Structures are given as C-alpha cells and as structure tokens.
Amino acid sequence: MAAALTDDRVTVEVINDGVHLHPAVVRMAWAAAGADRTAFVTDAMAAAGLGDGDYTLGGRRVRVADGTARLADTGAIAGSTITLADAVRRAVRDLGIPLAAAVRAASTVPAAALRLADVGALLPGRYADLVVLEPDGTLHAVYHRGRPVTGVPASRGQR
C-alpha cells in the first residue's frame, strides 16, 4: 500500500463504502495520493442501490444487511452495494473532501487511468455521459450520450 500511495505513476482505487475501507484509510489514501491520483470505484454487485435483502452473486447466496453484502454461508464481503454517487456523497459529508474533487475522483481520474479519451469530463467531442444529483446528493437524472435515461431508480442517499 505504501508503494502505491507514494508512486506518482499509480492511480489509487478506493471503495469508499465504509466497509471495504475504514474512513481513516480513505482519508490517508486521499492525503497521500491526492485528488489527481485517487479514483473512487465500486465493487458493486447487482444489489447496488436496491436495499437490504437476499440476492445471488455467481450462484452464491448473498445477504445484504445495513447496506453491506456478505456471502450467506461464510460472512465474507461479497462486493459493495455503493453507487459512485454515494461514494462522492460520503467523501464530501464524512471526509470533508471538496465536492469538485470528489466528483473528479469518480469521473475524470478513473477515465484517465483507463486511458478513455471520450468519457470522464464534459468537453467537446466526448460522449456527455453524466449523472445529475440534487444538492443533498440524491439522484436526479442520468444522461447517456447526451440523452436522458428513463427508469433510473432514485438514490437512497442514506449511506
């Protein structure tokens, strides 16, 4: 971990769900790697954003309780249920990360790490894929290639 945090060539991927990493670890990673090298990612399974209940993952039973997905038979973490909007909200609310920097960590930084030139920012010639959030961080709308996506469930905004 120390090598990744101190190597300017490395983009540090952070699952900011409070389960995979303790908030103090996220804070430490952000402080060490900085806004330009920290990428918010999810390890999301199909239950992401859907709430507590029973699900399957690769044919295995998963129980989601209090937003945490665990294998029913072993209790091991079975992925995350956090959305990137929730990761951004947690970063701002719980860690004091500026909104613009948190949004960059969920968009521009991961796109650059993957060398995707057509996503990650709203610029001429790019796809105009975006998520619009309310001031409290709940989901308002989703656009794909500049067109609204219908049927997108509202964010719970509780994590």
Which residues have a catalytic role annotated? 43
**Token pair 């990673």: residue:** 29
User: To 10 degrees, what angle do helices 84-95 and 99-106 make?
Assistant: 150
Query: Would you state the structure tokens that stand for residue 13, as one six-digit string?
Result: 């991927």
| Alpha-carbon distances, residue 88 vs 26, 45, 65, 73 (angstroms) | 12, 18, 21, 31
Query: Would you state the structure tokens that stand for residue 127, as one six-digit string?
Result: 């796809």
User: Taking the chain, what is the end-to-end CA distance rounded to the nearest angstrom?
Assistant: 26
